[in-house]
Amino acid sequence: MGERTQNSTEPGILATRLAAHRKDAVRSVWRLLQEPFSTLMTVLVVGIALLLPVVLMLVYANLEGVLAEFQSSARITLYLEEDTTESEGIELSEYLLTLADTELTAYVSPSQALAEFSSAVGFGGSLSELADNPLPATIIVRPTPAGMADVERLAAELGQLPDVELVQLDSEWISRLLAITGVLATTARLASLIVLTGLCLIVGNTIKQGIDNRRAEILVVKLVGGTAGFIARPFLYAGAIIGLAGGVVACILLGLLTLGLSDPLTDLVGLYGGELRVSGLDAVAMLGVVLAGGGIGWLAALVASLLRIAALEP
């Protein structure tokens, strides 16, 4: 007995622990490799399950980038009262530029507007021959980049100005898009939660089967004084290894996916006047996915094995 106490106080205790852990890790890798097919299937399933939340996260991140871009292209058009003179209009425009919320303002006189309009619709000079120009003077305001709510508030404020007859915010579709994105984000979070729960069940079930396969061995270890923690250790390694491998699979699948989707998506966003660089995962994020997989695998294995091992009695 004396020797045992002495041993446990030696500085070598850490080395002993490490050696024991290494042995368990090697043992669990070995056992996983003994059944290469079912191990491969489990890892692939885990990889695919991990892929979904990651893809949703990425889609959301990319979408937010696009939306920010769209938002900075928001324009507020102020239609001025008919009796506003050109100098009053220019003065107002310059005043608006001094506001903190505006980045750029431009006064467009009725004749400029008519010229632009007729060249845009292709009537050439014929419209400018109209005796009475029906178009009002306008001021176009580009707000400093901000959230849609701020831009909307600014537009409402500008509508109160005395010379302004009508305000038009040409970005209502962005607001709608934002609302839809919000719904999407919530859905994505829920879906991820469901998928991750499923992932835990998959890993947990695999570990449970592994424990049942080694029932006889576990009973022997219990007979000679093995704790549940000791018995669980190789299974925790197995869970973590399956999770890590699943994370690697998810990263590979994601890489293929971004490669395949990058061009069509860029084109699509281009159609709406946005600019998109589809960003995949950087090295740090990939490491995060792999580690998250390992962590989830470990946790699922922990719960499954402690429940299962407690149920086995010699």
Q: Which is nearer to another protein, 34 or 98 (CB)?
A: 34
Q: Is 227 in the site for another protein (CB under 8 A)?
A: yes
CB 233 within 8 A of CB 306: no
Least Cβ distance, residue 145 to another protein (angstroms): 60
Residue from 133, 168, 222, 258 touching another protein (CB under 8 A): that is 222
8 binds another protein (CB under 8 A): yes
Cβ nearer to another protein, comparing 16 with 187: 16
183 lies in the binding site for another protein (CB under 8 A): no
CA-CA-CA-CA torsion sign (211, 241, 288, 265): negative
Residue 85 is a binding residue for another protein (CB under 8 A): no
* Least Cβ distance, residue 39 to another protein (angstroms): 18
CA 84 to chain centre: 49
Q: According to the 3-state scheme, what is the secondary structure of 170-191?
A: CCHHHHHHHHHHHHHHHHHHHH
Number of residues that bind another protein (CB under 8 A): 27
Q: Which stretch binds another protein (CB under 8 A): 17-25, 46-54, 95-103, 149-157?
A: 17-25
* Cβ nearer to another protein, comparing 6 with 98: 6
Among 225, 273, 282, 311, binds another protein (CB under 8 A): 225
Residue ranges binding another protein (CB under 8 A): 1, 3-4, 7-8, 10, 12-13, 15-17, 19-20, 217, 219-228, 230, 310, 314
